[in-house]
């Protein structure tokens, strides 16, 4: 390529510069800084805030010995598997399938209710979920009508409460993805199966689901990534408690860094979370490339 | 399941007019699920109208607008909402400007550079933003940007840029190059052609991107919670939280009233986009902080 040609090429891409600078400074920068800081004993205040010392892999060794870290890793897996993979994904698909069979006015009304929980600002949804599950909240009030004893859900089963709350909050996304996907299934296909005597379940299992499997994979990946990052909902509902009973990795990273002032240790937790996210992100890109011939 | 083969195939049914027996079941199940989704929201509305509100959803004994009246003060409501507006509109404008500039060469020139760049950007959207908050705090301390509204706007813009560039590029691809070429022939520069021909043609798309980013920033709690320290700069998402902590035990009605007033702008914007594009999936992923 002649030099003046290459110069023009560079010149042409000049407008990309502001975006690239923003992304480098505020996204790539923090990620690199996280890996660096996780190898130091940087603190929030005091001596280690001004002059952090290099401690090598000490923070990561601490992670492995700290009983809270494996617990929090397990809770994160439970949260993602329960609320995203099982809850949002399956309920979203079920809603989308049911909506095709129900009266239009019913599916429109229910669709609005589901989407409303998703459109509300996260903190408002978190307050509503907190009130719903709290000791003198709506859930106990309802169960009381059936004679059930009052339970403090947020203390007794904090993970179940935040998982259900996140299903409530996030199912709309999967529902919208699957509604679009189902609209793309050729009607002749299911019609033909119907004529050949396949029942509703058989058509779903052997025709519809295989046709939309690309959407299923994409949706699973996206809801996993979104759920991995959930902080506000858990923070407002349980603050990670009781006794770390609902401390997922984002909550743990926040607590270590800001409550206990240990930036180095907190960024080590954050680094693990970033790595998990990057892994899922890479898998997601692969999936997209495979889907596009 | 085997069904005896029939001599004549049954007539095709139009699924829109002929309802299967399962249809009524579908209605019932859907309504039940819908009720479960509505219940927590019901509390929000009922509590806001109830001066004696608690955690439970109950019809107010003496419904009134007292809670709304109580929060309609400059410190409680207007300043936080104004801060939210500054933060969200600022983020929207910075994001849109950077996204339009970046999308132009990516949409108009062919280069080996485009595909890796777009995939790199898509990968960026996959990073869990909550994991980045601890390192971002560290970065802001080092650069002495803590408690700065403009710096928070820049960070929020960076987090929404990947998605915005993807969307903007798609919208720009829909504008044929031919209309631009006509302008070049008349002697317009690329920048002039972009601003006077291309951007007006993609105005609805740019509106979607702006609203998308605006809603995301408006609802974001964690970022301003970590980066903005002084009360005077905090947006409603954060001020509502201190409200909850300080008066939590007594003022549930006010909290609900505040929540509703704070939510109305994004609900309205969402309806505008959903109506306009006919596809609420355009906002997928945007609304979740």
3-class SS string, B49-78: CCCCCCCCCCCCCCCCCHHHHHHCCHHHHH
Beta carbons of B41 and A113 less than 8 Å apart: yes
Beta carbons of A236 and B241 less than 8 Å apart: yes
Q: At what angle do helices B22-48 and A122-133 cross, to 10 degrees?
A: 100
| Length of chain A (residues) | 293
For residues A217 and A238, give the distance between their C-alpha atoms in angstroms, rounded to a whole number. Answer: 31
Higher pLDDT, B89 or B51: B89
For residues B166 and B60, give the distance between their C-alpha atoms in angstroms, rounded to a whole number. Answer: 47
Beta carbons of B221 and A122 less than 8 Å apart: yes
Partner residue facing B102 (CB), from A16, A119, A197 = A16
State both tokens at B72.
């309609």
| Length of chain B (residues) | 289
For residues B133 and B152, give the distance between their C-alpha atoms in angstroms, rounded to a whole number. Answer: 12
Instruction: For chain A, 293 residues long, give each residue's pLDDT as a single digit of tens.
Output: 566 677 777 788 889 999 999 999 999 999 998 888 888 888 777 666 767 778 888 889 888 888 899 999 999 999 999 999 999 999 999 999 999 888 999 999 999 999 999 999 999 999 999 999 988 888 988 888 888 888 888 888 999 999 999 999 999 999 999 998 998 888 888 888 888 888 888 888 888 999 999 889 989 998 999 999 999 999 999 988 898 989 999 999 999 988 888 888 899 999 999 999 999 889 888 888 887 65
Alpha helices in A26-121 (DSSP H): 29-37, 47-50, 58-65, 68-79, 89-101, 104-119
C-alpha to C-alpha distances, B280 to A175, A218, A267, A288, nearest whole angstrom: 11, 17, 36, 21
Which is nearest to A135 in space by CA: A237, A26, A27, A284? Answer: A237
Beta carbons of A254 and B134 less than 8 Å apart: yes
Using an 8 Å CB-CB cutoff, list chain A residues near B20.
101, 200
Dump pLDDT digits (tens) for B173-230.
888 888 888 888 888 888 888 888 889 999 888 998 999 899 999 999 999 999 999 8
Q: Which helix (H) or strand (E) holds B87?
A: helix B79-108
A-contacting residues in B 17-76 (Cβ below 8 Å): 20, 22-23, 26-27, 29-31, 33-34, 36-44, 47, 54-58
Other CB atoms within 10 A of residue A109 CB: 16
| Contacts of B244 by beta carbon, 8 Å cutoff, 6+ apart | A127, A236, B255
pTM: 0.88
User: Would you say A287 and A218 are in contact if contact means Cβ atoms under 8 Å apart?
Assistant: yes
State both tokens at B57.
């959803």
State both tokens at B279.
């596809």
For residues A287 and B5, give the distance between their C-alpha atoms in angstroms, rounded to a whole number. Answer: 42
Dump pLDDT digits (tens) for A198-256.
888 888 888 899 999 988 998 999 899 999 999 999 999 998 889 898 999 999 999 99
Partner residue facing A281 (CB), from B33, B34, B126 = B126
Using an 8 Å CB-CB cutoff, list chain B residues near A136.
54-56
B-contacting residues in A 195-234 (Cβ below 8 Å): 195, 197-200, 202, 222, 225-226, 228-232
Interface test with B, best of A93, A229, A257 (most B CBs within 10 A): A229
Task: Catalogue the E-assigned strands of A201-266.
Answer: none
Asked if the bond preceding B148 is cis, omega within 30° of 0, the reply is no
């Amino acid at each position: 390529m002649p030099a003046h040609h290459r110069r023009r090429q560079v010149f042409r891409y000049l407008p990309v510069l502001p975006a690239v600078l923003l992304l480098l400074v505020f996204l790539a920068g923090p990620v690199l800084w996280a890996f660096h800081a996780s190898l130091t004993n940087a603190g929030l205040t005091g001596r280690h805030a001004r002059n952090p010392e290099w401690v090598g892999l000490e923070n990561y060794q601490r992670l492995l010995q700290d009983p809270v870290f494996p617990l929090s890793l397990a809770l994160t897996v439970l949260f993602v598997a329960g609320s995203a993979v099982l809850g949002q994904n399956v309920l979203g698909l079920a809603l989308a399938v049911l909506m095709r069979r129900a009266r239009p006015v019913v599916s429109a009304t229910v669709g609005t209710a589901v989407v409303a929980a998703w459109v509300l600002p996260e903190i408002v949804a978190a307050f509503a979920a907190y009130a719903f599950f709290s000791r003198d909240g709506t859930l106990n009030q309802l169960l009381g009508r059936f004679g059930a004893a009052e339970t403090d859900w947020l203390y007794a089963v904090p993970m179940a409460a935040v998982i259900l709350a996140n299903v409530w909050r996030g199912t709309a996304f999967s529902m919208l993805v699957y509604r679009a996907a189902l609209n793309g299934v050729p009607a002749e296909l299911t019609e033909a199966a119907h004529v050949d005597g396949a029942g509703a379940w058989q058509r779903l299992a052997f025709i519809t689901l295989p046709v939309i499997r690309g959407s299923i994979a994409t949706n699973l990946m996206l809801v996993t990534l979104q759920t991995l990052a959930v902080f506000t909902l858990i923070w407002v509902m349980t603050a990670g408690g009781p006794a770390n009973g609902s401390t997922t990795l984002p909550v743990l990273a926040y607590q270590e860094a800001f409550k206990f002032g240990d930036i180095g240790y907190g960024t080590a937790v954050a680094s693990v979370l970033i790595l998990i996210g990057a892994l899922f992100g890479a898998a997601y890109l692969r999936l997209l490339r495979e889907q596009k011939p | 399941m085997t069904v005896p083969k029939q001599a004549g195939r049954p007539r095709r049914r139009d699924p829109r007019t002929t309802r299967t027996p399962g249809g009524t079941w579908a209605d019932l199940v859907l309504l039940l699920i819908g009720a479960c989704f509505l219940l927590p929201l019901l509390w929000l509305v009922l509590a806001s109208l109830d001066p004696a509100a608690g955690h439970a959803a109950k019809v107010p004994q003496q419904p009134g607008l007292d809670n709304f009246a109580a929060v309609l003060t400059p410190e409680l409501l207007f300043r936080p909402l104004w801060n939210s507006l500054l933060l969200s509109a600022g983020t929207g404008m910075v994001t849109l400007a950077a996204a339009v500039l970046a999308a132009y060469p990516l949409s108009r020139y062919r280069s080996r550079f485009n595909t890796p760049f777009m995939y790199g950007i898509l990968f960026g959207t996959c990073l869990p933003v909550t994991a980045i908050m601890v390192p971002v705090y560290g970065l802001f301390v080092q650069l002495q940007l803590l408690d700065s509204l403009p710096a928070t706007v820049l960070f929020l813009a960076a987090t929404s840029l990947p998605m915005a560039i993807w969307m903007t590029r798609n919208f720009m691809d829909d504008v044929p190059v031919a209309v631009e070429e006509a302008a070049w022939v008349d002697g317009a520069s690329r920048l002039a052609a972009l601003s006077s021909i291309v951007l007006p043609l993609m105005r609805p798309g740019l509106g979607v991107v702006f609203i998308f980013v605006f809603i995301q920033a408006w609802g974001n709690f964690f970022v301003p919670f970590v980066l903005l320290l002084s009360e005077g700069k905090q947006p409603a998402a954060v001020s509502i939280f201190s409200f909850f902590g300080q008066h939590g035990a007594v003022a549930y009605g006010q909290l609900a009233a505040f929540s509703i007033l704070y939510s109305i702008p994004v609900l309205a914007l969402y309806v505008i986009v959903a109506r306009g594009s006919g596809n609420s999936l355009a906002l997928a992923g945007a609304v979740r902080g």
